[in-house]
Structure 1
Amino acid sequence: SAVRSLPPLRRKETKLMQKKAHPWQHIGITLGLPMILLFDIIIPCIIYYTWYNNQQSIRSRECREQYPDQDCPIEHKQFDKDILGYAIICFGFGELWILVARVLRLWQHRDECAPLLSRSKWELDATSWVYAVAMIMALIPFIVSSTLVIPKLYLYSPLFIMGFLGITMVITLAVPFKLPIGINSHARGTRLRPFIYYAAEDFIAVDGLQDREFRVRYNERYDTNKMFRAFFFKLTLWWILGVCVYAGCVSAVIWTLEFHYAFGLSLGVLFAYIVIWAAVSAVWTKWEIKREHKAYEEGQV
């Protein structure tokens, strides 16, 4: 009689995020998104448009008094470098809040959430350093436009952040060299990985409160799962595309609309880009994890 074989066992893949973190465990990080919305959109718009509407009221009154029933030659003022400077400073405060909150957690809970090869609290993680440099890059158009009085250049500050991140993403894909220094959980001499891989590891471990246990599982998954590796390559390409789309859209807004329209709409374009790309990434990631989990259980990876 034919020998009956047992059905193959279904392998169970290890879950990457196993901690049930409560948002109040680190209030600074939890308040990051509200701070971004408040200081990157709401307050800058309040500062600028309060000043702009006041200028319009003054101009209208002067036109009625000095040039009744005539075309008014008084300048239609749309820009004041001091007012715009205050608005741009507010824009940076939201990003600074996130950076400080992350750094504090890495300092106070280094043994829990720092990169696996971290030897000092001053090493922080790759995301913190890249984030800090990106913020410095945003100061370039602010300083130049203040010195040379180029109003439109003020509006490019967010693009300098995204442009720097986009260039870094391209380098991680186009030039996968061996690391001259250790980055995050990877020693010197290991091959550079896609930008989004490092960003995801740090944000989930530190901001998502999943800590070092997640970093161990995450790195092991990348080393052993080719589908996981391919996904991060594609996801980084997706965000590079996003930077290009954002750069084109915000430039069109800045150079085709009057300044008082471009100011608010350029901020709207920034957050529309972030929301759309983040939402697609979240859905895509959820779908990909399910696909990889099924492939793992069936022994395909």
Structure 2
Amino acid sequence: MILVANANEDDQDSYTAGRMAGSAQEEARVLGAWTPSTLHSSSYEKLAQKKPKLTDHLSITIGPIMIIIFDIVVPCIIYYIWFDIHRSHWKSACRSYEACRFTKPEFDKQVLGYAIISFGLGELYILIARVCRLLWHPDECAPLLSRSRWELDATSWVYGVAMICALIPFVIGSSKELPELYLYSPGVLMAFLGILMLITLIPLKIPIGINSQAKGTPLRPLVYYAAEDFIAVDGLQDREFRIRYNARYDSSKAFRRMLLGLTIWWIFGVCVYLGSLSAIIWIMEFHYAFGLSLGILFAYILIWAAVSYIWLQIGINRERKVQEISV
């Protein structure tokens, strides 16, 4: 069902007025006009109700595979093939001298540049895949307050800026042959996201609409926006999910606390990751740190995502039980 196309003229006028006024009450009334009557029967119904097939949007489905290939496998292949070849040459040259006169090879700006290209391809692919879905199917998955398909969603813009933040130390570190700065590049990306998470803990009134949230309402934790966008767009749950998700956040204090807790959990994870990354960079030789720095990044993401999923399931089940008891 295409919600915007089915809204009548009066609802559209009310929607525009509510957005300009930034009134949470008006927003709720307008969203209610778009929502099927069954959505009002329970505040704790299942949020993600669609069961999409893996082939429904294949370009998004293969996204995690592309990230693993281009962000871990290919960079390691590029670097360690170069490292093995040059290390063997170094050993052969050093056999001719009692004291080796040649510098032990650890990195080269050209090979590091190739690794950058590979690392960027994985991230860029994911961004392009979700942006294409937002551009081609705006009536299905765009944010509720979106007035143009070119507005995309908050996650797309944050994703793009985060990639640029990581690219800067990558390029400088390889071109100036600063190995520590090069290895810190993924950490710069996560630090940027961590700072954003901290900012979203401040309940400031937003000057513009963000996703499906009207301007003038308090800023919500970053995990709230990320979950809405990823599940609606990448999870193929579309605008119906955005409506239920916003309604749940407005109506449930426990749901709001849970998303706040998850945001704090990810902030803590960023600190753990940056500490671990720093220890690897400054203690180990570059050829060890190169692979491990990528490994702990994905280990951190997997561990924190798994705990977040379990946390989310426990919180939702607890809410459901409370609702059943009250009814």
Q: TM-score normalised to the size of structure 2?
A: 0.85
Residues 40-60 of structure 1 deviation map (CA, whole Å, 9 limit, x = unaligned) = 100000000000000011112
For 2:287 and 2:58, locate their aligned partners in 1 and report how far apart those are by CA, in whole Å: 36
User: Contact 1:12–1:297 at 8 Å: present in 2 too?
Assistant: no
Shift of 1:148: 3.1
User: Contact 1:201–1:218 at 8 Å: present in 2 too?
Assistant: yes
Pick one of 92, 101, 104 that aligns with 1:61: 92
Pick one of 257, 274, 283 that aligns with 1:256: 283
User: Contact 2:43–2:251 at 8 Å: present in 1 too?
Assistant: no
User: Contact 2:200–2:222 at 8 Å: present in 1 too?
Assistant: yes
For 1:112 and 1:285, locate their aligned partners in 2 and report how far apart those are by CA, in whole Å: 25
Shift of 1:77: 1.0
Aligned positions of 1:89-104 closer than 5 A: 89-104=117-132
Aligned positions of 1:1-301 closer than 5 A: 13-64=44-95, 66-67=96-97, 70-173=98-201, 175-299=202-326
For 2:43 and 2:209, locate their aligned partners in 1 and report how far apart those are by CA, in whole Å: 32
For 2:44 and 2:121, locate their aligned partners in 1 and report how far apart those are by CA, in whole Å: 41
Shift of 1:73: 2.6
For 1:12 and 1:245, locate their aligned partners in 2 and report how far apart those are by CA, in whole Å: 36
User: Contact 1:115–1:125 at 8 Å: present in 2 too?
Assistant: yes
**Root-mean-square deviation (CA), in Å?**
1.3
For 1:45 and 1:75, locate their aligned partners in 2 and report how far apart those are by CA, in whole Å: 22
Judge which range, 81-90 or 206-215, deviates more: 81-90
Residue correspondences, number: 286
For 2:43 and 2:239, locate their aligned partners in 1 and report how far apart those are by CA, in whole Å: 22
User: Contact 1:13–1:297 at 8 Å: present in 2 too?
Assistant: no
Judge which range, 141-150 or 281-290, deviates more: 141-150
Residues 182-209 of structure 1 deviation map (CA, whole Å, 9 limit, x = unaligned) = 1100111111100000000000000000
Residues 203-246 of structure 1 deviation map (CA, whole Å, 9 limit, x = unaligned) = 00000000000000000000000000000000000000000000
Shift of 1:74: 1.6
Shift of 1:12: 7.9
Shift of 1:13: 3.1
For 1:239 and 1:101, locate their aligned partners in 2 and report how far apart those are by CA, in whole Å: 25
For 1:155 and 1:220, locate their aligned partners in 2 and report how far apart those are by CA, in whole Å: 42
User: Contact 2:200–2:220 at 8 Å: present in 1 too?
Assistant: yes
Q: Which segments of structure 1 move beyond 3 Å, counting only runs of 4 or more?
A: none
Matched AA of 2:171: I
**Identity score, percent:** 63
Change in CA separation of 1:12 and 1:115 when aligned onto 2, cut-off 3 Å: closer
Shift of 1:147: 4.3
For 1:233 and 1:272, locate their aligned partners in 2 and report how far apart those are by CA, in whole Å: 23
Change in CA separation of 1:262 and 1:189 when aligned onto 2, cut-off 3 Å: same
For 2:291 and 2:131, locate their aligned partners in 1 and report how far apart those are by CA, in whole Å: 31
Shift of 1:142: 1.8
User: Contact 2:194–2:267 at 8 Å: present in 1 too?
Assistant: yes
Shift of 1:144: 2.4
SS of match in other structure, 2:121: helix
Matched AA of 2:113: G
Matched AA of 2:247: E
SS of match in other structure, 2:55: helix
Shift of 1:143: 2.8
SS of match in other structure, 1:25: coil
Residues 135-161 of structure 1 deviation map (CA, whole Å, 9 limit, x = unaligned) = 010112123223432111111111111
